[in-house]
Amino acid sequence: MKTQEQSSTSNQKIITPNKELIGVKKSEKAKLPKPTGWRMLVLPFRMSEKSKGGVLFANETVDRQQVASQCGNVLAMGPDCYNDKNRFKDGPWCKVGDWVIFARYAGSRIEIEGGEVRLLNDDEVLATVQDPTDILHKF
């Protein structure tokens, strides 16, 4: 089962199974910071605001869900990500396009129109997942 799809154009889009399109608008792509050194740019996952049955969730529920999951998609990586052979003997933990789990307060939060992105250090990635909806907490 395909869990995500990325276009090769400059308008990167993330599609999750049975979910609406999630991503960064084309006009905002140029505004995003370019990670330097060992940092990576991650777009946090945001759950759908509507249930499968069509019920709209309150903003508080959506926000609590986002805090609980702490999952995001790697948009870009700095040139030195995972280059330290002493610390990363088995190679990189993730790559651009992977869904990763990170700590609640990890990284620097950068507000963009419609949400936020995070700049994480390469060692702040806790795990990778195939589908971010697999780890969502139910409220």
Helices (runs of H) and strands (runs of E) counted in the chain: 2, 8
**Confidence at 19, pLDDT banded by 50, 70, 90:** very low
**Domains of the chain by start residue, with CATH:** 13-135 (2.30.33.40)
In 3D space, the residue among 44, 45, 13, 11 whose CA is nearest the CA of residue 30 turns out to be 11
Report the Cα 94 to chain-centroid distance in Å.
12
* Alpha carbon separation from 48 to 19, 60, 129 (Å, rounded): 7, 13, 18
Q: What is the pLDDT of residue 112?
A: 82
Q: What is the pLDDT of residue 66?
A: 60
State the pTM of this model.
Answer: 0.69
In 3D space, the residue among 116, 113, 15 whose CA is nearest the CA of residue 6 turns out to be 15
